[in-house]
A and B are shown apart, each in its own frame.
Chain A
Amino acid sequence: MVSKFGKESPSRILFVAVNAIFLSLVGLLALAPFLHVIMASFSDPFQLIANKGLIWRPLGFTTIGYEKVFQSVEIWRGYLNTILYTTASVALGSLLTILGAYVLSRKGLYWSNKAMFFITFTMIFNGGLIPTYILIANLGWIDSPLAVIIPNCMSAFNLIILRTYFYTIPDSLEESANLDGASRLQVLFRIMVPLAKSSIAVVALFYTVAQWNSYFQAMIYLRSPKLYTLQLVLREILLKNTATSVGASGPSAFVLAVAELIKYCVIIVSIIPMLAAYPFIQRYFVSGIMVGAVKG
């Protein structure tokens, strides 16, 4: 397979070199925003607001922005709320997905195809924003965490991924358990779930990332700041420019400069969990996308 350079034509060598340079540039461009934000977050606030263009090394050095962020009640409360809502939502969503995928992967059920259609049809047509909002309002879930946790906790796409995996588990395993007198639920949770552990992890990961990063549900349903998720707190600070509420006291020029600095620190603090988990979850993610997109 691997051919020596000497055997390649000059145009091929040129292509390989240009390709390597181009791809390196693409990689650098993809990471440049992160570099900019990390370097800015350690910069001196006055030098930061005077700067124009990309920041590729800290301008001066200070950790005052991070100190302010770590002292901020809003951010920690947002973090806590997000962890609580995400845990609850992912647990419920994964459970429902397991139940659905298991039953719909069994052969010889009369209603199987119709039930699958009932579920997947919602992928291409649904009531949309306003009727859903009215439903949540009628349930009395406005300004309740339930509105963020329960609707959208499962997706037909993930059900398809898990069902694809359950298909590959031989029926004989289930039948022998049935002969031993195990109930369906026992079969599901004692035999099927342990066998499908890795696929269930993929599905739970998809749910976690989606829920952790979402802001829209929380924005339209939650009213009290004490219920806000991390993303909503970020939106207040980063996009509505209320960083001064987190920030320093003192002369107003200083307050404004620190408010600018705080934005960068908040971004870093909020993306650290995802980036720290990234090397571990990447493998699962890739396999999940492949099952979902190529075979689904």
Chain B
Amino acid sequence: MTPRLKEGKIRHDWRRNYSYYLILLPVLLYYFIFLYIPMGGLLMAFERFNAAKGIFHSPWIWFGNFATFFKSYYFWRLIRNTVVLSLLGLFFGVVSPVGLALLLNEVKNRYFKKTIQTATYIPYFISLVVAASLIKIFVAPEGPIGALFNSLFGLDKNLLTYVDLFRPIMVVSDMWTMTGYIAVIYLAALSGIDHEQYEAARIDGAGHWKQLVHITIPGIAPTVIVLFIMRTGQLLNVGYEKIILLYSPGIYETADVISTFVYRKGLIELQYGYSAAVGLFNAVVGLLLIIGTNWLAKRYSETRLF
């Protein structure tokens, strides 16, 4: 299209549709102010940012903040904790809801199925603060789980104070709150599989196991992949709002992740520039991850998010 034609098209579109664009304007303004201005604010990652001077008058130090972070004692510990927690979350976040959905799908009694689905779905509605409190109560020495560990292994303090137990606590509690919720999505995908495929397989003599492997699993694979890609975008955040409620300096060795470090350095120690740099590093890696997973999915399975 020549520039002239394009210009004419834009002008025609505006004359015809300007009222649509006026309706859209508040939405675009909202995104501009609350999401794009902070994106511009990321420039502070390259400055020795001083809130009083603002982003335009703080001294530039280019990659100084990043260099400090890469050389810091905490760098590898943060990377390790973030990667381990996100991989654990990715694995159990896919396996347990898919497993629950497949088992529920085998249940023929509708009321039983509905009851179990409802019971496992309820914890999703609990707020993070209440969930974190329940965890603390349960793993305290007098709590149900804490008391069990006390009698079995002689651990007599709150389980949240043991470095080695933080990851299992995160995994199990995430399973408790999220499994039923995500299983709903897979159940929907399962109910979308054409019943004639099962009929045909039965006529050909395929048993339940063969039907599972050849019809059910391929049937929900696209949904699994879409949710998987969506999760990779959130991967590096690893539920930091929950970690902030649960961790304590004694277990930073396994509990401190990049996002909690950003929160502490930035909003508690007020090192804005440095903290923004660490946050930017996290966001860029996250962006690369989601683009990479999407590319892989597109290449090998024809299912993709964008």
> A: which residues have CB within 8 A of B?
2, 12, 15-16, 19-20, 22-24, 26-34, 36-37, 49, 51-54, 96, 99-100, 102-104, 106, 108-111, 115, 118-119, 122-135, 137, 150-154, 159, 183-185, 188, 209, 212-216, 220, 231, 234-235, 238-239, 263, 267, 270-271, 274-275, 278, 282, 286, 289-290, 293-294
> B: which residues have CB within 8 A of A?
9-10, 13, 17, 19-21, 23-24, 26-28, 30-31, 33-42, 44, 51, 55, 100, 103-104, 106-108, 112, 115-116, 118-123, 125-130, 132-134, 136-138, 141-144, 147-148, 150, 176, 180-181, 184-185, 188-189, 192, 208, 223, 226-227, 230, 233, 241, 244-245, 259, 262-263, 266-267, 272, 275-276, 279-280, 282-283, 286-287, 290
With contacts A103-B24, A110-B17, A134-B272 known, is A129 near B283, CB below 8 A? no
Contact across chains for B276 and A130 when beta carbons are under 8 A apart: yes
> Of all chain B residues, which has the CB nearest A152?
B34
Partner of B103, one of A23, A36, A135: A23
Contact across chains for A99 and B106 when beta carbons are under 8 A apart: no
Give bound CA distance, A134 to B150, whole Å: 46
With contacts A16-B106, A27-B116, A133-B267 known, is A275 near B122, CB below 8 A? yes
Contact across chains for A22 and B42 when beta carbons are under 8 A apart: no
Give bound CA distance, A115 to B287, whole Å: 20
Contact across chains for A134 and B41 when beta carbons are under 8 A apart: yes
Q: Which 3 A-B pairs have the closest CB atoms?
A: A127-B38, A131-B41, A213-B127
> Of all chain A residues, which has the CB nearest B290?
A124
Give bound CA distance, A12 to B36, whole Å: 57
Contact across chains for B132 and A239 when beta carbons are under 8 A apart: yes
Partner of A99, one of B23, B37, B104, B279: B23
Contact across chains for B108 and A106 when beta carbons are under 8 A apart: no
Q: What are 18 sample pairs from A and B whose C-beta atoms fall under 8 A apart? A: A2-B108, A20-B107, A24-B116, A26-B120, A33-B123, A49-B142, A96-B27, A109-B21, A119-B27, A130-B41, A134-B38, A134-B55, A215-B127, A234-B127, A235-B129, A278-B125, A286-B184, A293-B223
Partner of B266, one of A123, A126, A133, A282: A133
Do most interface residues of chain B lie in helix, strand or loop, or is the interface mixed? helix
Interface-central residue, B10, B106, B130, B280, by most chain A CB under 10 Å: B130
Contact across chains for B24 and A104 when beta carbons are under 8 A apart: yes
Partner of A235, one of B100, B120, B245, B282: B245
- What's the least CB distance linking B243 to chain A, in Å? 11
Contact across chains for B129 and A238 when beta carbons are under 8 A apart: yes
Partner of A294, one of B119, B128, B133, B185: B185
Contact across chains for B185 and A290 when beta carbons are under 8 A apart: yes
Contact across chains for B129 and A239 when beta carbons are under 8 A apart: yes
Contact across chains for A263 and B133 when beta carbons are under 8 A apart: yes
Contact across chains for A115 and B176 when beta carbons are under 8 A apart: no
Give bound CA distance, A152 to B33, whole Å: 12
- What's the least CB distance linking B201 to chain A, in Å? 14
Contact across chains for B134 and A37 when beta carbons are under 8 A apart: yes
> Of all chain B residues, which has the CB nearest A273?
B125
Give bound CA distance, A150 to B120, whole Å: 32
Give bound CA distance, A184 to B16, whole Å: 12
Give bound CA distance, A134 to B100, whole Å: 43
Known: A215-B241, A289-B185. 16 other contacts (CB 8 A): A31-B122, A52-B141, A104-B24, A110-B9, A110-B17, A124-B287, A124-B290, A128-B283, A130-B262, A130-B267, A130-B276, A134-B38, A214-B128, A234-B133, A238-B129, A239-B129
Partner of B34, one of A108, A109, A132: A132
Contact across chains for A103 and B223 when beta carbons are under 8 A apart: no
Contact across chains for B120 and A36 when beta carbons are under 8 A apart: no
- What's the least CB distance linking B227 to chain A, in Å? 6
- What's the least CB distance linking B302 to chain A, in Å? 16
